[in-house]
């Protein structure tokens, strides 16, 4: 097979980057997502250095490096995937078996999550890291209470980054992960609540 052209290689790289930005964060822990992001960042930097910084590097060498790194990233995704389930039974126990109280907590959870989405978006637009840290901290208790680990890990990472590196690009990435994953988590909570309601009534 003939060596891939540089322009085509970079186009494939852009497509891959878009794909990685849209993968399901719910299925990765924060550490796993960070490792995947760092792997891709290093690869992208090395590739750009080879293309723009070393004129003697052949197209074949670049393509081989590209293929090898893609395999590493693909392997990281496949080995890191895990499925989160929503179990409201412990929350119901904390509510002393009162289904009405659980329903109120679920409603409050949803309100707080939507409030976080709005406040975090505004903080990101203004690059207000202190406000972002505050609203991330504020929503954590509700996420813990409902045992929604995936969303909790995202928010904890946002809180940490807003206090330390203040990497706005990564913060936007984490925010988008939360926005993308929240509807599926909410639907899972609704299904679990419906199942518990039917069990209580039977």
Residue 1 is assigned to a structural domain of this protein: no
Domain encompassing residue 117: 89-201
Please check the confidence at residue 149 and state whether its pLDDT lies above 50: yes
pTM (2 d.p.): 0.61
The two tokens of residue 192 are: 């679990």
Q: How much of the chain exceeds pLDDT 90, in percent?
A: 43
Domain end call among 49, 80, 111: 80
The reply to whether 93 and 186 lie within a common domain is yes
The CATH number assigned to the domain holding 140 equals 1.20.120
The reply to whether 95 and 177 lie within a common domain is yes
Write the pLDDT tens digit of every residue in 91-143: 999 999 899 999 999 999 999 999 999 999 999 999 999 999 999 999 999 99
In SS3 terms, the chain reads as CCCCCHHHHHHHHHHHHHHHHCCCHHHCCHHHHHHHHHHHHHHHHHHHHHHHHCCCCCHHHHHHHHHHHHHHHHHHHHHHCCCCCCCCHHHHHHCCCCHHHHHHHHHHHHHHHHHHHHHHHHHHHHCCHHHHHHHHHHHHHHHHHCCCHHHHHHHHHHHHHHHCCCCHHHHHHHHHHHHHHHHHHHHHHHHHHHHHHHHHHC
Residue 118 is assigned to a structural domain of this protein: yes
Domain end call among 22, 55, 80: 80
Domain end call among 27, 60, 80: 80
């Amino acid at each position: 097979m003939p060596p891939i052209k540089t322009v085509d290689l970079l186009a494939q790289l852009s497509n891959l980057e878009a794909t990685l930005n849209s993968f399901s964060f719910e299925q990765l822990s924060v550490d796993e997502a960070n490792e995947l992001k760092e792997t891709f960042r290093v690869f992208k930097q090395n590739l750009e250095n080879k293309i723009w910084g070393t004129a003697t590097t052949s197209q074949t060498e670049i393509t081989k490096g590209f293929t090898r790194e893609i395999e590493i990233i693909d392997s990281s995704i496949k080995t890191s995937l895990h499925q989160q389930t929503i179990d409201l039974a412990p929350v119901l126990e904390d509510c002393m078996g009162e289904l009405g109280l659980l329903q109120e907590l679920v409603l409050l959870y949803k309100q707080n999550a939507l409030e976080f989405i709005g406040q975090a978006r505004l903080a990101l637009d203004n690059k207000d890291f202190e406000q972002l840290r505050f609203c991330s901290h504020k929503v954590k208790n509700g996420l813990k209470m409902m045992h929604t680990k995936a969303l909790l890990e995202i928010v904890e990472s946002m809180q940490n980054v807003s206090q330390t590196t203040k990497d706005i690009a990564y913060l936007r990435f984490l925010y988008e992960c939360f926005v993308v994953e929240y509807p599926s988590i909410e639907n899972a909570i609704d299904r679990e609540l419906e199942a518990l309601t039917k069990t209580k009534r039977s």
